[in-house]
Amino acid sequence: MMAQAEVRGLAGPEQVIRLRPTRGLAARTVAQLVQTRGGIFGLSVLLGLALVAVTAQALAVDDPYEVGAGDQFESPSRAHPFGTDELGRDVFSRILFGARISLTVALASAWGAFVLALPMGLLAGYVGGIVDIAISRLFDTIFAFPSILLGIALVAIRGASLANIILAVAVIYVPMLGRLTRVSVMIQLGQEYVEAARAAGASGIWIVTRHILPNVLPPLLVQMTLVMADAVLLEAAFSFLGLGIRPPEPSWGVMLDTGRNYLAVAPWLGLFAGLAVTVMILALNALGDALRVALDPRRYARTGGRAMGGRHG
């Protein structure tokens, strides 16, 4: 209080305001992101894909469900840029609509995992003791399952639907985000400023929301972009295995699954869908890496955990 009053006394109210950062965290982060090649690539590709997903209706050449929009297995042409599939549907239009499914799964499951993991991680880290042990063992148990297997089991139990895929992916990544939250909380609790706040009489809730959360959120945000990349991959994988989204829905995984049956006659079926999945994951990984640097240059490590396609066998 004294220090602030003194500053005000010396410099006047205008200067006091200038002592704060001139732009918000979001604006600064974006400004930093566009300074790296990876950040520009990730951000622009994702914005492009989001735009495509939103305007799919207008951009599509044909109705993605319309059987016989062209002949069966037409190779890519001006009328059908990515060719047509086994039912004569326009592959380009189906890819556009597939972006909707992939982005929905990515965003919803990353937020789902965040919403489930944050309170658990905060509780485990802040309360400690038996609560910490219980929550940590739960995380260990979920973590012991290879993610694709856990996902397959969850989707098989709850039935194949978009909502259940999102739920399954969210559950898979709760331990990862939860552990990160827990560790960050513990690190912050050891800092002097928390002790000072406590000495000044701040309540537990005040300390958590005002002091700990702002320090926990940046690394969580980085991890969430990686969860999104894995979510895109897992949705495609479930649908590819026939356990996820069902035909005729234009999921990229479904298109890959059909595509592999017609490799000899219509290779473009699998090619474009797989390319779409890969580009989206590349962009999310690049964005995650760039975010890691933008949000905390000191903690940047080369061996950071990107989403790894191959880990899902």
Partner 1 sequence: MVAFVVARFVQAIPVVFLTSVAIFFFIRLIPGDPAVSIAGLNATPEQVEALRHRYGLDRPLVAQYLTWVGRVAQGDFGTAYASRQPISHLIWTRLPATLELALGAMVVTLAIGGPLGIVSAVRPYHPLSRAVTLFNAIAIATPTFWLGILLVLLFGVRLKWLPPSGYTGITDDPGESLRFLVLPSFTLGLVGSAILIRFLSASVAEALGADYVMTAHAKGLPERRVIGSHVLKNALPPVITVMAVQFGYLLGGAVITEAIFGWPGLGRLMLDAIKAREYMVVQGTMLVFVTTFIVVNVLADACYAAVNPRLREPARR
Q: Which residues bind partner 1 (CB under 8 A)?
A: 137, 140-141, 144-149, 152-154, 156-157, 159, 229, 233, 236-237, 240-243, 253, 256, 259-260, 263-264, 267, 270-271, 273-275, 277-278, 281-282, 285-286, 301-303, 306-313
Q: How far is the CB of 222 from partner 1 (least distance, A)?
A: 16
Give the residues across from 90 on adjacent strands.
84
Question: What token pair was written down for 42?
Answer: 């990730």
By C-beta, is 98 or 270 nearer to partner 1? 270
Q: How far is the CB of 96 from partner 1 (least distance, A)?
A: 18
By C-beta, is 208 or 226 nearer to partner 1? 226
By C-beta, is 13 or 313 nearer to partner 1? 313
Q: How far is the CB of 20 from partner 1 (least distance, A)?
A: 37
Q: How far is the CB of 167 from partner 1 (least distance, A)?
A: 13
By C-beta, is 215 or 278 nearer to partner 1? 278
By C-beta, is 174 or 212 nearer to partner 1? 174
Instruction: Judge if the upstream peptide bond of residue 248 is cis by omega within 30 degrees of 0.
Output: yes
Helix axes 162-189, 213-240, angle to 10 degrees: 150
By C-beta, is 211 or 292 nearer to partner 1? 292
SS3 category, 227: helix
Q: How far is the CB of 163 from partner 1 (least distance, A)?
A: 15
Contact 230, 173 (CB under 8 A): yes
Neighbours of 227 (CB within 10 A): 29
- State the DSSP code for 246: P
Q: Residue 137, exposed/middle/buried by CB under 10 A (0-12, 13-18, 19+)? A: exposed
Q: How far is the CB of 186 from partner 1 (least distance, A)?
A: 14
By C-beta, is 68 or 242 nearer to partner 1? 242
Closest CA to 126 of 195, 185, 38: 185
Q: How far is the CB of 283 from partner 1 (least distance, A)?
A: 9
Question: What token pair was written down for 200?
Answer: 């000044």
Phi, psi of 90, deg, nearest 5: -80, 115
Q: How far is the CB of 309 from partner 1 (least distance, A)?
A: 5
- Per-residue CA distances from 162 to 92, 165, 232 (Å): 22, 5, 12
- State the DSSP code for 23: S
By C-beta, is 61 or 282 nearer to partner 1? 282
Closest CA to 29 of 283, 280, 307, 221: 221
Question: What token pair was written down for 161?
Answer: 């639907």
How far is the C-alpha of 195 from the C-alpha of 192, rounded, in Å? 5
